[in-house]
Every structure is written in C-alpha cells, then in structure tokens.
Amino acid sequence: MTTNTHTPTGHWINGEVAPAGSVQTITVSNPATGEIVAEVPAGTAKDVDRAVAAARAAFPGWSATPPVERAAVLRRISAGLRERSEEIATAITAEMGSPLSMSRTAQVGFPIAVADSFATLAEDFEWTEEVGNSLIVREPIGVVGAITPWNFPLQQIVSKLAPALIAGDTVVFKPSEVAPLTARILAEVTTEAGLPAGVFNVVYGTGDVVGEAISAHPDIDMISFTGSTRAGRRISAVAAETVKRVALELGGKGALVILDDADLPRAVETGVMMTFANGGQVCGAWPRMLVPASRQDEVVRLAVAAAAQYPVGDPRDETTRIGPMAYEAHRRKVNSYIERGIADGAKLVFGGPGRPDGLEQGAYVRPTIFAEVDPNSTVAQEEIFGPVLTIIGYADEDEAVEIANGTMYGLTAGVFGEPGHALAVARRLRAGQVDVNGGHWNPYAPFGGYKQSGNGREFGRAGLEEFLETKSIQR
C-alpha cells in the first residue's frame, strides 16, 4: 500500500487523535490510477458515543463564549486553510479525482469564502430583539451531527461547521469514506486556531454504521446532511425517533432555460460549464438544457463546440478540465446512464459510453451530450451525477417552465434571456436557487432545495439560523 501524509491513524475526538474502537479500516483509492493512497478507521457506534460525549462536555463553555470571540476563531480557521491550501488541493485530487486546477480554486477557495462570510455575518447578527413585551433570544441548538458527501469534501463540512461554530454549537462530523482525507487537515487547523477541545470531532466510517449512529443518537440535537435523496430519507426516518432537527441538502436535476431572446453562445457555453464542472459531480449542476425547439440544431452545434474545450485526463495535469469519476462503481453507474439514454432513443451528439481514448485505466467516462431528449425519459429525470448533458426542446415559455419544474428535484436552475424576461421566468421555477444570465455565487445568499432536494438552507443569515433555537421571554 502507498500512503501519504494525510493518512489518519485514528479518529479526532476531544482535540486529539483518538484510537479507533475497531481494527477494521477503509481504504481510500486514487480514482485516476486505482492506487490505494490511504486508510482510515472503520468507525463504530462506540466511537460515535465517545465523540458525542466530548461534544456535549464542550458545549457549555463554547456556547457561553461571546459571538465576537467565536468569529475570531473562525477567521483563524479560515487563515489556516489558506496556509495549507496546496496540501488540501493535492489531497482532494488524490482522493476523488477533482482536477488540480479546480481543487485549488473551487474546492479550497469556496470553503474559505464561506468561513469568512459567517465570521462577518456574526458582527451584525441580531442575537436578541424586542417584539412588543417579548424578548426574542436566539441560542445554540446544542450538539450537531454533520454528515457530508465526497464531491466537495472540504466545502461541504465548512458549510456546516462555520455556522455551527458561530451559533455556539459543537459538532460530531462523519466525512464520506470515499474522500475523508481533508477532515484531518481541517481538524488540525481548528485546534491550531484555538478552538477548544471537543467542539469539533471527526469519526470516520460508513453511512450504515457511523451515519446511522449519529442520526439516532439521543444526545445529538440536530443533523445536517448533504448527499443523496435516498440517504436523506433514511436519515430523516432514523432521526425522527429522537425528534431532532434535520436539515437536508439533497440531489438535484437542475434545468437551464434558454429563452429565445438570450445571448445564445454565452448561454450554451455557461450551460456546458455548469454540467461538466467537477466531472458533473455537482448537486447544483444544470444537466438539462431547455431550448426553443426551432433553435435546437444551433444549440447542439454550440454545445458540441463548447464540450470539445473540456479535455479529460490525469487530474494532476494543469490542462485537465475533467478528471475521473470519484470511484469505479460510480463510473459504471454514469456509463450505464449513457447506455440507457441511447437505448431510450435520445440522439447522441457528443461522447458516448466507454472510457475516453487513451484512458483505459481509471474511473474515466466520456463527457456526453444528448439532443432531442424526451423530458420524461430516465436520463432527463434521474440524477446522473456525471458529465452528461441532455438538450430538450420546448414549444413555448409555459412548456419550458413545465419541463423545468417537472422532476422530483428543485435545487438549482438557470435562465438566460433579456434581463427582465429572464427574471420573470426565474420567479416561476420551483428551485431554491436560480441564476439569471450567469449570476455569480454569493456566500451570503441562502442555498437549499424545494421538493425532494431537501429542506433547510445553507449560507447567509438563513444558514446561521438553521443552527439556532429561538426562545421567547415575555415581560
């Protein structure tokens, strides 16, 4: 086995490495090569018990720490992540195959921006307010169980840890077993930043063992989960036994609605980017491109030309824009969807099943574009989580809105068109975040889904309030 400096030798409990309660381990493989790069402990319910006890013991002191001091710790955490940004980027590329260029920018840059935003938000947040004869007090919820996926390993946990710390909560965190390496780096950074022992704890392991134990634990007050809709349903069911709060950021099948008055080349280029970024392994992607039926041929030509600008290859290569899928089983899943699209009659205009030429080893797929897609077909309805774009024609604006809203998901969407027109259509879409003409990401704006894309919100004031209880004191 080849190991690296990111290999955890135990869990992180009460501010230090804690020996695992089991000798069993989970291997972490580089999806580009199949090489084993690390091992992490296969955690148990007893490991979760130890982490929860540490978090519960740390809660009184941390919750009583003034918000301005909590914010100062968070700023030091942000600074620590900046200092170790190259190490983090290298670890993410090794564990889940994100191209190194993206690991350095989005995979590291986004969580730093999120941490900074919550530290700033704490400065002006109204922890108390007067309403008539009542004093409304916002207080920490308690111990938070955080469970995250593998596609943005650092971003997903910082999006939960930052507001939890500002709120005064303590955290027990289970990273994905596919991409767990940055969790140790983050734990070390939090300790170096002066976060008290027990406020942030990491237990490695699988969802069916550690995730279940966290979800069911009677001393955990809230679950914040990002992942698949299927897993979110299970977590909700298990957590219901102890009536804890559950915040879910789940799957998506975002639509990009391109209106007839849009800047077509810019819209298509943006749509391809939003589908292929991170190999399509983004819950907020736009894998459905809805276009006026009369202009579908033109859109196809533009999309194929844009797709050619996304070379697939070794994620360590600075020119690579699409690396491997995060693991081999996921590669097979994405490939099966491409085969299903062909079988169901979608018109293949770019890519197709199988590995790209010259990449016979590794979890690689061919970026793929389908045209003339039935909006009710499998590839247009189910979350593929890979670089697969489906182009769907519509007859008029009402049909475009109907198609865009016509899945069980409602996480993100995009609209391109004349600004006023595009805004009017954006208001009709049943999604938690809609970008108009490529509007930029804003870490102060709430993010979350409608329908089976989840409940609750991340980022901004709404994201902080998820981690707070509200008390009314009448006088």
**Cα(253)–Cα(255) distance, rounded to whole angstroms?**
7
Residue tagged active-site, from 95, 177, 283, 458: 283
Helix 108-124 and helix 153-167: axis angle, to 10°?
10
Give the β-pairing of 412-416 and 255-258: parallel
H or E stretch covering 288: strand 288-292
Residue tagged active-site, from 95, 177, 249, 458: 249
H or E stretch covering 145: strand 143-147
Give catalytic status of residue 283 as yes or no: yes
Of 471, 465, 306, 287, residue with least CA distance to 385: 287
Contacts of residue 118, defined as CB under 8 A and 6 or more positions apart, other chains included, come to: 71, 74, 162, 163, 165, 166, 463, 464
Q: Produce one character per residue of 337-346: b if its CB has 16 or more CB atoms within 10 Å, e if not.
A: bbebbeeeeb
Cα radius of gyration rounded to whole Å, the chain: 22
| Terminal-to-terminal C-alpha distance of the chain | 66
Of 174, 166, 165, 157, residue with least CA distance to 217: 174
On whether the CB atoms of residues 310 and 298 are closer than 8 A, the answer is: no
Which positions are annotated as active-site residues?
249, 283
